[in-house]
Amino acid sequence: MTYLFAAIVPCIFLFSFLFAMHRKVKVYDSFTDGIKGAIPLVLSVFPYVAAVTMLSKLLDVSGVGNKLEQWLCPFFQFLGIPKELASLVLIKPLSGSGSIAVLTDVLETYGIDSYVSRCACVLYGASETVFYIGAVYFAGLKRKKLPLAIAISLFAYLAAVLFCCLLCRFL
């Protein structure tokens, strides 16, 4: 089963290249031509990624993040989210690398097959770093509804967290 999942990506490449050769595409030229776009793309998103990561570091170091966690913890528990997951729930929309660190910590502390860990895995797999996506997708665009769109995504995220905590009790 796990072998099957791991095989997906290599298979995609294998069949894509075979199909391209069948269609008489110059695969090497085409592949390198695509790669050319990588650096300009990253350069165009760098300012926004930099601003968001600086802000998330600042939240962390100034202790505002911690305070927020303390305030929200009772609220989370009231909603039925285990307190062990509070920091993961808070960091996931903000930072990808930060949340993977917290996730590994949770998995190691509570054991990979515990309820909390299964919840953490589902929560991690079923959500995205909302602020990062916002920063990258709308880099340089001025959309008035962006804050509303972010609020909607965060609300859907919170609902998904509640839903997955409930779901993991049964499944």
Partner 1 sequence: MNTLFSVIFLICTALLLFVSPDAFLETLLSGASKAATTCVSLIATYAVWLGLMRVWEDSGVARGISRLLRPITKKLLKTDEAAALDAACMNLSVNLLGISGAATPYGIKAANLLDKTPNAEYSSAMLFVLNATSLQLLPTSMIAVRVSMHSGAPTDIVLPTLITTVFSTLLGALLVRLFIPIKTPDLAQNTTQYFRRKIAKTRGAGTQ
Tell me which residues in 50-69 interact with partner 1 (CB under 8 A): 50-59, 61-64
Burial (0-12, 13-18, 19+ Cβ within 10 Å), 117:
buried
Binding partner 1 (rule: CB under 8 A), the pick from 10, 71, 78, 125 is: 125
C-alpha to C-alpha distance for 79 and 44, rounded to whole angstroms: 40
Between 41 and 79, name the residue whose CB sits nearer to partner 1. 41
DSSP-assigned letter for residue 111: -
Residue 90 C-beta: closest distance to partner 1, Å = 14
CA contacts within 13 A on the Cβ side of 129: 17
- C-beta of 74: minimal distance to partner 1 in Å? 21
Rg (CA), the chain: 20
Site for partner 1 in 126-155 (CB under 8 A): 126-128, 130, 133-134, 136-139, 141, 143-150, 152-153, 155
Applying CB under 8 A, what is the total number of residues that bind partner 1?
Answer: 88
Q: How is residue 96 written in tokens?
A: 């990808």
Examine residue 10 and tell whether it contacts partner 1 (CB under 8 A).
Answer: no
Residue 75 within binding range of partner 1, rule CB under 8 A: no
Contact 119, 103 (CB under 8 A): no
